Amino acid sequence: MSRRAIRAALVLAVAAACTAVGAAPAQAAGRADHCPDANGVTVVVDFKELGGGVVVRCAPGDQATGLAALKNAGFQIAGTLRWGEGFICRIEGKPSTATEKCVDTPPASAYWSYWHAPDGGSWTYSDRGVLNRKPPAGSFDGWSFSFNRSADNAPRPAVAPNRPAPPPRTTPPAPPPPRTSAPAPPPPAPAPPPPGAPPPVVPPPAAGAPGAPGVVAPTGVDGTPAAPAPVAPTDDASGPPPDVPPTGSVVPPPGAAPAPPTDPTGSLPPVEVTGARDGDGLPLGTLAGVFLLVALVGGGVLAARRRRTAEPDD
């Protein structure tokens, strides 16, 4: 085989190796944004002039080397054909294969600079390779593309190495009180009577009850009043029991005309004149009897005097 053929084969082999290294996938997906706590390493990649902005991802858990943190954060990387992944040549396909072949060490005017920082600290340029440094848990690793800069003024990542504070814990809302049965609604008010309706009729009290217009007392066959019904004694020591009018006689209310007595035989008996009481005075019938008695006595006296006058003197 000629020297020209050998050289062509070597070029093709180098190109294939660079392509294979550039297409090597990341070993871990990681997760976007900062690590929420100290359990992991936050990796910041600033593309600078290459375009692509700044990407922040988290490599959870313990990281053995800076290379492991870069891969476990989910970034795709490519090393050099000569040094392998010990020298980072390409991150997320940048710089492109047309610009950088990644056969040997990239030039000092265009390369990925490596940085590190504690949480809340400041970025420090790393003078060690990615395989010679173990990032502490909760720290930051940074990568920034340096274009036409020297090692003394290489640009640091644009994002400060500060892990955001966790959101404040909120107190869960108190559970609602247990539901209780609603109280029964009040009964509806009676509807008012319609305009012009007559007033309600109140029944009169029963006979013999307080407020009745009259009390009926029992009478005998001949119309004479019967003996009053016995009244049960009471415990009231203030005085004798109240007078109970004999049942069968009608005591008319004030202003009412007296009703004639009735007899079971159908004939009207002689009317018995009874006197009405006025306070504690004597009845009218008793007064009439007294007057009659006085009249009889007076008549007898007068007759005796006349008889004495008519007799001759002896």
Residue 105 lies in a domain: yes
With beta carbons less than 8 A apart as the criterion, state whether 91 and 143 touch. yes
Give pTM, 2 decimals: 0.48
Residue 190 lies in a domain: no
Q: Is the peptide bond before 230 cis (omega within 30 degrees of 0)?
A: no
Residue 196 lies in a domain: no
* ∠ Cα 80 81 84 (to 5°): 60
| Domain count across the chain | 1
What are 270-286's pLDDT values in tens digits?
544 444 454 455 556 66
Residue 234 lies in a domain: no
Measured between alpha carbons, how far is 115 from 44 in angstroms, rounded to an integer?
A: 9
Q: How far is CA 210 from the centre of its chain?
A: 57
What are 293-302's pLDDT values in tens digits?
777 877 777 7
What are 170-205's pLDDT values in tens digits?
777 778 777 776 667 777 877 777 777 676 666 665
Residue 39 lies in a domain: yes
Residue 118 lies in a domain: yes
CATH code, domain carrying 38: 2.170.130.30
With beta carbons less than 8 A apart as the criterion, state whether 95 and 43 touch. no
242-251: b (≥16 Cβ within 10 Å) or e: eeebbbebbe
What are 132-159's pLDDT values in tens digits?
999 999 999 999 999 999 878 999 999 9
Residues of the domain holding 113? 3-147
Residue 57 lies in a domain: yes
Residue 79 lies in a domain: yes
Of 242, 174, 243, 247, whose CA–CA distance to 214 is shortest? 247
3-state helix, strand, coil in the chain (%, to 5): 20, 15, 70
